[in-house]
Structure 1
Amino acid sequence: MKPDGSALDRARELLEETSDQLHEEAPCGYVSTLPDGTIVRVNRWVTRVLARPREELLGGVRLQELLTIGGRIYWETHVAPLLRMQGHVEEIALELEGAERRVPVLLNAVLLRDEAGEPLGMRSSLLDVTERRRYERELLAARDEAEEAARIKGTLFSMVSHDIRSPLSALVSAGELLEETELSPEQERYVRVVQRSANSILELVDEVLSLGKLEAGHTRLERKPFELCSLVEGLAEELRLRAEDKGLKLDVEIAEDVPSRLMGDPIKLGRVLTNLIGNAIKFTEQGSVRVSVSRVQATEESATLLFVIRDTGIGIAEDELDHIFDDFTQGSEQICARYGGSGLGLGICKKLLGLHGSHLKVTTRPDRGSTFSFELTLDRAPA
């Protein structure tokens, strides 16, 4: 059954009333104008923001006249030409000259044309972005405060760490010299305790210094040729004694197709590998630690390599995985008490790899061990 004409008319009237009501009560400004900008219709938002009666705006005021002086100039030089050329503009930042204050708005406008292409008028919307501007200013201020706090913290870390490091280095050197003299077994034990403690604090100071520089944005990657095999095997040799003291095997496997000479920052790559291998040894009581380097892909100019450090240690609980890369995080209280350490190593590794455009991955099973891996793309060194 088709609706009669009166029902259709009522439906149209209702639709028009609803549309008019939405237009009038909208939380943004709606303005309809003639081609020259003369206002022929506005909604309540416009009259409220400008504190001007509707009758004053209709028929005798142009839209661009509601703008600040700078906005009027911008309208003539940018907005009007864009409208004529492309028929619309989107999110143009302007300011209305309100009764009590200037109101920042975003203008969206479309030019209406007849069948011959001649302008008929323009319909515009004005969105008040006062709160958005305030929020953006607060965000910028918060960012500046955070950057300043990070800078101060980095400076403080560097100053304090330097003041601690200097006497500790002297203490370690004195202990090494003392070892070369004739000592009783008890004295040798005391010297080893002093050296071990001093070295532990030195490692902590180095980690704090590294963290401070990374967070302050003072760390830059160097680019120089180095021998990858020599770097990895040299680090493993230095750490092998620590592994053997715990009865562990430390194996290194570098695939034959891995390029030997590469361009990069061997110091920072070495720091990442030292932290990961050292952690693997620390948290492994029996079994082995295995380090492997393989080629993922290569071109004549560069090579992408996969570094894997696998251990048979205590592993990591699933609920701790989301936090292991946070600074000063080292798992449960029992692990902290048993193994010690600052909890900075993995966080530093993550940040250093981030500088390389890489990221650290981990797979683990409690009491079965962990595997840390990352990919690194390095240019080949010239022959």
Structure 2
Amino acid sequence: MTTTVLRSYNRDYMILDEGLVVDNEESYCHLVIEKSEGPLIINNNLTHPLTRDMDATKLVGGCSFMGVQIVKKSGEVYGSLCAFDHNFYAYDEKEVAFMSSLAAFFANVLELEDAAMALQEAHHKICDLAEEKSNLLAVMSHEIRTPLNGIIGMIDLLQSTELTEEQRQYIKITQSSGDSLLAVLNDILSYAKIDSDQSELVHLPLDLRSCVKQVQELLGPDAAKKGIKLHAEVCPTIPDMVRTDATKIQQIMINLISNAIKFTNTGDVTLSVEQHSSDSSYPLMLVKVRDTGIGICAEKLDMLFKPFSQLHTPERSFEYSGTGLGLSICKKLAEQMAGRIWLMESNERGSCFVLELPLMTEEAYV
């Protein structure tokens, strides 16, 4: 319907202002696109049959003209690249070829802009889908966990009644299955919260030794059931009170130790906290979880810390069941706390995971 002058490059004086809008059929751009098979060359617009009676000629005044189409690879004509000269300059073949090359260059730029916009739109869609996925996971986990807690509660009540040995065995299996399902739901809910950035970082004073002791007391019975020992030690150089997110660091410890216990059949699991100097503003705190378990296969190492990754072999999936979210949750939590986590070593004699965090004391924080 209309033609707009997008950009003007002039030598002596302004012939066409940027932003000028004219009826399409009254524009020289229209002639280039609709009235010419290739580049349009007009030596004198005042006498040429295509331009002498056009209102646009009165606007630009007497001049010579050269115009080439800007065509995308798809065949879509975007517009034209035009040259006007009020001194009636005679354009030769080299200059026509140069203008055609410029038009091709502009067409490529337009293709890149289209691709960039498409990528941006796709990115927004992916972000929206990811947010919807996280919200769905959170809602589903909540909705399933509520009745599941009720079932587990009723199982606990049922255990207090008179039962035969066979019934008690059934209840034990049911309770174990319920606890496993609840653990799976808790992992999914934690991952959904972290993935949607709903988990805020809270730096508060924490008695680190008490925190380590609580984790040891919480998971000690699980280790004892398998006949292994759970040790915990904090280096004397670590201050009693530190500034950190207690919930997050405790969740990482629990996930790492739970994994260590799961994959250890004999021996022990050790949680240790050490201090390490660094070039950063704060010294570093290293939380190590070492076990004497089965180790991790070399071909599985690239799957570490990826969500839903099962590091055990398929034939042992029942023995080592789980969501495969534990390590990915630890990684995301560590990054939120300005730290990192990695596998320091793993072989047939066991594995050792290390969590590195800034060691912020009360004095340093103030």
Tell me the secondary structure at the aligned position of residue 271 of structure 2: strand
- Residue of structure 1 aligned with 2:263, choices 283, 308, 315: 283
- Residue of structure 2 aligned with 1:352, choices 324, 328, 333: 333
Q: In 1, distance between residues paired with 2:40 and 2:319? A: 75
- Residue of structure 1 aligned with 2:184, choices 204, 207, 211: 204
Tell me the secondary structure at the aligned position of residue 286 of structure 1: coil
Offset of residue 51 of structure 1: 5.0
Distance 1:324 1:103, change over 3 A: farther
Offset of residue 257 of structure 1: 1.0
Q: 1:163 corresponds to which residue?
A: 143
2:354 aligned with 1:377: no
Report 1:175-254 matches (<5 A).
175-254=155-234
Q: 2:287 corresponds to which residue?
A: 307
| Kept after mapping to 1: 8 A contact 2:346/2:352 | no
2:136 aligned with 1:153: no
Distance 1:288 1:137, change over 3 A: same
Tell me the secondary structure at the aligned position of residue 338 of structure 1: coil
Structure 1 counterpart of 2:264, one-letter code: T
- Residue of structure 2 aligned with 1:316, choices 290, 293, 296: 296
Q: In 1, distance between residues paired with 2:173 and 2:70? A: 76
- Residue of structure 2 aligned with 1:361, choices 336, 342, 356: 342
Structure 1 counterpart of 2:340, one-letter code: H
2:115 aligned with 1:138: no
Q: In 1, distance between residues paired with 2:253 and 2:289? A: 8
- In structure 1, runs of 5+ residues without a counterpart are 1-31, 39-47, 57-95, 105-124
Deviations 1:215-257 (A, max 9, x none): 2222221222221111111011111111111111111110011
Report 1:102-113 matches (<5 A).
none
Distance 1:134 1:196, change over 3 A: same
Q: In 2, distance between residues paired with 1:159 and 1:131? A: 42
Q: In 1, distance between residues paired with 2:128 and 2:69? A: 37
Report 1:109-120 matches (<5 A).
none
Deviations 1:336-368 (A, max 9, x none): 233111111111111111212222211344422
Q: In 2, distance between residues paired with 1:54 and 1:378? A: 76
Q: In 2, distance between residues paired with 1:206 and 1:97? A: 61
Tell me the secondary structure at the aligned position of residue 242 of structure 2: strand
2:78 aligned with 1:101: yes
Q: In 2, distance between residues paired with 1:34 and 1:194? A: 86
2:310 aligned with 1:333: no
| Kept after mapping to 2: 8 A contact 1:303/1:380 | no
Percent of residue pairs identical:
31
Q: In 2, distance between residues paired with 1:55 and 1:295? A: 82
Distance 1:97 1:297, change over 3 A: farther
Distance 1:208 1:97, change over 3 A: same
Q: In 1, distance between residues paired with 2:43 and 2:223? A: 88
Tell me the secondary structure at the aligned position of residue 267 of structure 1: helix
| Kept after mapping to 2: 8 A contact 1:51/1:98 | no
Q: In 2, distance between residues paired with 1:142 and 1:374? A: 35
Structure 1 counterpart of 2:269, one-letter code: V
Deviations 1:125-172 (A, max 9, x none): 995321221121121111111111111111211221111100111122
Q: In 2, distance between residues paired with 1:102 and 1:338? A: 67
Q: Using structure 2 for the length normalisation, give the TM-score.
A: 0.69
- In structure 2, runs of 5+ residues without a counterpart are 1-8, 16-31, 45-67, 72-76, 82-101
RMSD, aligned α-carbons: 3.3
Q: In 2, distance between residues paired with 1:303 and 1:152? A: 39
Deviations 1:57-111 (A, max 9, x none): xxxxxxxxxxxxxxxxxxxxxxxxxxxxxxxxxxxxxxx996953589xxxxxxx
| Kept after mapping to 2: 8 A contact 1:316/1:364 | no
Q: How many residues align?
A: 285
Q: 1:297 corresponds to which residue?
A: 277
Which range moves more in the overlay, 177-186 or 363-372?
177-186
Structure 1 counterpart of 2:316, one-letter code: I
Distance 1:298 1:326, change over 3 A: closer
Deviations 1:169-203 (A, max 9, x none): 11222233333444443333332222211111111
